[in-house]
Amino acid sequence: MIAAKARQHLILAVFTVSLLVNLSAALRSPQWLAIPAALVGWYLADLLSGLIHMLMDYRPCTPGKRLNDLFFYEGSRESDHYQALLRERMATIGPFERISYDFKNHHPRPDALGRRPVWRLIGSTVIIAALPLSLVGNVAQALLPVPGWIMAGLVTFLIGGGFAQYFHGSLHRAQNPWFITALRWAGLLMTPAAHQLHHDTLQRDFATNCGWSNPAINLLFRTLRARGYLADAGLVPSA
């Protein structure tokens, strides 16, 4: 357990330093293009959050993993029996399957996502995508004359993408850090009321950062549904 925690802290520390290096490159040569680039990066992160959310919601769980035992568990989820069952089932699946299950599980239990620790929410995203992409940015600026406005767009994309599931979890918590409130006030993060539109039907508004990309994702969802994709059966684990 201690070794795992130390590894998590190390990964987050490396990601933070890498992100700051990219940010410093953006600040060294400020240009007016940095503002639209940053907004485009934020939009793309929101779009990515929505596309992944839509995929994970409707992607069928892998047969044979018996995740339905967890999803439909009728006893106390604080009980020793459930916790042992949870550890047993989670040990048989990888990070991708775990993320998919978490998306499905939080529909009937939305507050469960808000109780997840930070690493559970962002760990897989940082390891698989955000950290490698940030390091690529570090190398690129060291070897090439990368314009500062491109780095500005990259930084906002990395923050929005790397912390997308944390932002999602904040929509299901009553108490949040001050910066979440500030970003909502600025319109850079969506409100719980706006996100509730997704939970009301599970067929719209999949983006969970700012929601700017929801009109495009809603159109894509309707198109795929009309062609027979994204069936409701994928919303819950089957036996």
Q: Up-side HSE of residue 193: CA atoms within 13 Å toward CB? A: 1
pLDDT tens for each residue of the chain, 239 residues long: 678 889 999 999 999 999 999 999 999 888 899 999 999 999 999 999 999 999 999 999 888 889 999 999 998 988 999 999 999 998 899 888 888 898 899 899 988 888 888 998 999 899 999 999 999 999 999 999 999 999 999 999 999 999 999 999 999 999 999 999 999 999 999 999 999 999 999 999 999 999 999 999 999 999 999 999 999 999 999 86
Count of helices and strands (H, E) across the chain: 13, 0
Total count of residues recorded for the chain: 239
**Rounded CA Rg of the chain:** 19
Q: Could you tell me if 171 and 53 are in contact, meaning their C-beta atoms sit under 8 angstroms apart?
A: no
